Amino acid sequence: MTPRECVLACLAGEKPDRVPMRDAPLALAIERWEREGMPKGGFPSFFFENCIDGGSFDDSLRLPSEVLEDDGVKRVGRDSNGVVYMSLVNSSSTSHPVEFLIKTREDWNRYKDRIVPDPSRISPATLDQYRQWSRTRQSWLCLSLVGAYGHMNELVGTERTLEIMAEDPDWFRDVAETYADYHIGMLELLRAAGINNDGIFQYDDITYITGPFFSPAMYRELIMPSEKRLYNYVHDHGGHVYRHTDGNNWTLLPLLLGAGIDFLDPLEVKAGMDLQEVQAAFGRKAVWVGNVDARVLYRGDRAEIEAEVRRKLAVFPDGGYIYRTDGPITEQAGYDSYRWLIECVRKYGGA
């Protein structure tokens, strides 16, 4: 079976001939592995065929971006949402927002008309990738997009987002519905170009290690309607919804499933998620992705790595599971440890 066929088998409630595989090492981890013997550019092909692939599009306000300061250590710039940010030049850490352009609902109303579907928002590289996939169909191909909470965060910041959800819920709903319209419009443009991919990859970290950033009632009232509308569109056109959110998802899981997700990634161990417990509670209502504790890689003990993989892949005989670690792999992971981890996945996942 191809990697895509393995994923489709999981979605159909069948067991593929081997566990589908994907991972997300950071750039500095890949650089370390290359120094330690991995062929340059060898991830992931040196280890496995990536079962899920995809492209994205420009979902910003399309304002001019620029570098304001760069001393070789620290960089300050302005992005295409008008956000002034600071980042470290030689680091895999995320950038830190310094000032936001959107401060009030009036600011949002002034700029929201810039969020419109447009073919120029899809890069030629993404279109070429999709056309090549149409010929080979080796991986499950999706379009990556951000969720409503993530978009609001990008525009106004985390604290302000939570204030708006509590104090001006209609503003948040407007943002959620605007981006749902926009995402559906972009998917329509792809379909008009003859590209019918396998679904969407929606990433939006709405939970922390102890639980969601907001109440389940807020998700149900402010986010779920727009997400369900987007998911229904995807399902109506034969696609599926791959949902990524770090953190502890237990209290939101029934709502996410009710909205229509088909995959949940990455089931973060250090946040209290456990694959076997999730499967026992929700069965095959979604394809479960991840939950292999990345921290065992950093400790580098082979017996511990094998025990972790063996326990998590014990669910695989029932199908409905995709291997990955429970979060991005940092440069703390050595090349030999990662190679051993993948050997164990192959051993217990029939790969």
pLDDT digits (tens, 9 = 90+) for 215-234: 999 999 999 999 999 999 99
* For range 22-49, the mean pLDDT: 95
| 30 pLDDT more than 70 | yes
Residue type, 299: R
Domain 3-60+102-349 grouped into CATH 3.40.47.10: no
* For range 149-158, the mean pLDDT: 96
Q: What is the mean pLDDT of the chain?
A: 94
Tokens at residue 326, please? Answer: 């429970």
Euclidean distance between CA atoms 319 and 313, whole angstroms: 10
156-163 contacts, C-beta under 8 A, 24 or more apart: 156/100, 156/102, 156/103, 157/97, 157/100, 158/213, 160/100, 162/213, 162/214
According to the model, what pLDDT value does residue 92 have?
62
In the block, residue with structure tokens 């990345």: 294
Euclidean distance between CA atoms 296 and 315, whole angstroms: 19
According to the model, what pLDDT value does residue 229 have?
98
Whole-structure pTM value: 0.94
Euclidean distance between CA atoms 179 and 81, whole angstroms: 14
* For range 245-254, the mean pLDDT: 96
CA 197 to chain centre: 17
Alpha helices in the chain (DSSP H): 3-11, 27-35, 105-111, 124-136, 148-156, 158-167, 169-192, 216-218, 224-236, 253-259, 275-282, 295-299, 302-312, 335-349
* For range 45-55, the mean pLDDT: 93
C-beta of residue 264 within 8 angstroms of C-beta of residue 242: no
The pLDDT confidence band at residue 189, using thresholds 50, 70 and 90, is very high
Domain ranges of the chain: 3-60+102-349, 64-100
* For range 148-164, the mean pLDDT: 96
Residues with Cβ within 8 Å of 183's Cβ and at least 6 positions away in sequence, in order, are: 59, 145, 200, 230
pLDDT digits (tens, 9 = 90+) for 56-112: 999 999 999 999 999 989 999 999 999 999 988 876 667 899 999 999 999 999 999
Euclidean distance between CA atoms 342 and 332, whole angstroms: 17
C-beta of residue 190 within 8 angstroms of C-beta of residue 57: no
For the chain, the residue count is 351
Euclidean distance between CA atoms 310 and 251, whole angstroms: 27
pLDDT digits (tens, 9 = 90+) for 292-349: 999 999 999 999 999 999 999 999 888 899 999 999 999 999 999 999 999 999 999 9
In the three-class reduction of DSSP (H, G, I as helix; E, B as strand; rest coil), residue 174 is classed as: helix
According to the model, what pLDDT value does residue 7 have?
97
According to the model, what pLDDT value does residue 40 have?
95
| 181 pLDDT more than 80 | yes
Phi and psi at 345, nearest 5°, equal -60, -40
First to last CA, the chain: 11
